Amino acid sequence: MIRMLIVDDKESMRRSLSRFFSEKGHDVIECSSGEEALERFQGSETDLVITDFQMGGMSGLDLLKEIKGKSPLTQVMVVTAFGTVESAVEAMRQGAFDYLLKPFSLDEIETKVEKALDQRRLLTENRYLRETIQKRMGRMIGQSPKMQQVYRLIEKVSPNTAPVLILGATGTGKELVAKEIHNKSPRADRPFIAINCGAIPENLIEAELFGYEKGAFTGAGGSKKGRFEMADGGTLFLDEIGELPLHLQVKLLRFIQERELERLGGTKTIKVDSRLIAATHRNLKEEVQADRFREDLYYRIRVIEIPLPSLRERGDDIRELATHFLEKYSQELHKNVQFPSEIIDLFSAYHWPGNVRELENIVERAVVLAEEETIHLEDLPPELHSISATTESSSTQSATTGMTERIEGMEREIIRKTMEDTDGNQTKAAKILGLHRSSLQYKLRKYDLLG
């Protein structure tokens, strides 16, 4: 049912329209003034408003503005007498769907109302589609407290242009976060340009970033825009910024400060307005101390820092992500496979050195390999087999595994994890584990955990 308001200070007019549309089965509300209409207007619940232009008190035009401001999807039609075509045009400019010149037939108004309602349906559908796509594209999976913090930071930084530094180990979602910030920013419909400073050979990276003019170096046959220029109006994502050679760090700093650059071999200064997001898996503070990263650049890019948690720290997100990737790859590969709960337990116990990316790869591989509707241990890579012994310890199956073996399995896993947490520092690990360094070394050899 359509909810519509009919606004006119002349009763006869109101009545005839109201009777007509009520008989068509619509929910019609009569209002004798703009003020009354605003009172009875219920945001987007109101599909359509037909209002007279000239009324005592609030005019039809003012009512239109109020309504469009509150609910852009509500369609408004303005009825006006001859001689006020100009005002009708103004009404259209303010967002009225159409206007009607008096006198008009009921047929005429009905056609226009139908068109307005069609248009409203279309707009609603479009908006719904857009929102769904946006949600899908930008949807980051995981509700763990650590990720909630990340989401809050994303919301906070998206509207402005301050440089952002994203920190996190491999596969934690650095690039995804950068895109999410861009998509939520006012620059969303401008380019998002990513460049991985670690992946481009040192002799090419400068030209790639700053662009070049013809003849700038041997082989520069024409001129080319650099990535910085391509990101004009949008966002520039400098991935693995810790890998940027020192002499380019100087140039980058200048670019950030002056917001302008010259192409290689060029003399013209080019203004570029781009938002900088950088990411690194390195500890930049340490890099600064070791003179591998310029301190001034470091302070410049880390105005806002977003640290990403490792997958291990994300608790139940592991399950949620695994399910998400399972659905994704099942759909892509037209399969219908499920995880048994043992596999999920295994996932929760594993240490995920490659974080979300590793989880995604393992799930994809398992879906590819799965021959039945359930994923089996054999569909997982060997590194997960070794911990299956430890997680099975509580199940009946483990009765077949000897006590010593099970304890050793756990011990191996604990040591492996501690070594990883301490970045392989044996002294630290031994202290945490309460072992002498020599016995730790013995166990590392025994469990084949060296190197």
Residues of this chain that bind Mg ion (CB under 5 A): 174-175
Q: Which of 188, 189, 297, 195 minimizes the C-alpha distance to 248?
A: 297
Number of neighbouring beta carbons within 10 Å of residue 422: 16
Shortest approach of ligand ATP to residue 388 CB, angstroms? Answer: 24
Which residue number, 111 or 170, has a Cβ lying nearer to ligand ATP?
A: 170
The alpha carbon of 46 is separated from its chain's Cα centroid by a whole number of angstroms, namely 32
Token pair recorded at residue 231:
């990101």
Span interacting with ligand ATP, options 282-290, 354-362, 383-391, 420-428, rule CB under 6 A: 354-362
- Residues shown for the chain: 451
Whole-angstrom distance, CA of residue 55 vs CA of residue 6: 13
Q: Is 142 in the site for ligand ATP (CB under 6 A)?
A: yes
Q: Is 176 in the site for ligand ATP (CB under 6 A)?
A: yes
Number of neighbouring beta carbons within 10 Å of residue 321: 22
Among ligand ATP, Mg ion, none, what binds residue 170 when CB lies within 5 to 8 Å by partner kind? ligand ATP
Q: Is 148 in the site for ligand ATP (CB under 6 A)?
A: no
Q: Is 188 in the site for ligand ATP (CB under 6 A)?
A: no
Q: Give the dihedral sign, CA 368/372/377/378.
A: negative
- Residues of span 257-286 touching ligand ATP by CB under 6 A: 281
Number of neighbouring beta carbons within 10 Å of residue 221: 8
Whole-angstrom distance, CA of residue 364 vs CA of residue 395: 27
Backbone angles phi, psi at 33, to 5 degrees: -155, 165
Provide the CB-side half-sphere exposure for 86 (13 A, CA).
1
Which residue number, 22 or 361, has a Cβ lying nearer to ligand ATP?
A: 361
Among Mg ion, ligand ATP, none, what binds residue 180 when CB lies within 5 to 8 Å by partner kind? none
Shortest approach of ligand ATP to residue 236 CB, angstroms? Answer: 15
Q: Is 314 in the site for ligand ATP (CB under 6 A)?
A: no
Shortest approach of ligand ATP to residue 360 CB, angstroms? Answer: 5
Per DSSP, 338 falls in state B
Q: Is 74 in the site for ligand ATP (CB under 6 A)?
A: no
Span interacting with ligand ATP, options 65-73, 172-180, 382-390, 439-447, rule CB under 6 A: 172-180
Shortest approach of ligand ATP to residue 280 CB, angstroms? Answer: 9
| Residue from 14, 26, 112, 174 binding ligand ATP (CB under 6 A) | 174
Number of neighbouring beta carbons within 10 Å of residue 28: 21
What are the distances in angstroms from CA 236 to CA 129, 190, 280? 28, 11, 14
Shortest approach of ligand ATP to residue 93 CB, angstroms? Answer: 44
- Residues of span 152-171 touching ligand ATP by CB under 6 A: 168, 170-171
| Residue from 190, 225, 251, 357 binding ligand ATP (CB under 6 A) | 357
Q: How many residues bind ligand ATP (CB under 6 A)?
A: 15
Number of neighbouring beta carbons within 10 Å of residue 131: 10
Q: Is 60 in the site for ligand ATP (CB under 6 A)?
A: no
Closest CB to Mg ion: residue number: 175
| Strand, helix or coil for residue 376 | coil
Shortest approach of ligand ATP to residue 351 CB, angstroms? Answer: 17
Whole-angstrom distance, CA of residue 429 vs CA of residue 288: 26
Among Mg ion, ligand ATP, none, what binds residue 187 when CB lies within 5 to 8 Å by partner kind? none
The alpha carbon of 294 is separated from its chain's Cα centroid by a whole number of angstroms, namely 31
Shortest approach of ligand ATP to residue 16 CB, angstroms? Answer: 58
Shortest approach of ligand ATP to residue 407 CB, angstroms? Answer: 35
Residue with tokens 């509707």, as numbered in its chain: 373
Residue with tokens 């402005």, as numbered in its chain: 160
Per DSSP, 312 falls in state G
Among ligand ATP, Mg ion, none, what binds residue 140 when CB lies within 5 to 8 Å by partner kind? ligand ATP
How large is the greatest C-alpha to C-alpha distance in the chain, in angstroms? 100
Binding site for ligand ATP (CB under 6 A): 140-142, 168, 170-176, 281, 356-357, 360
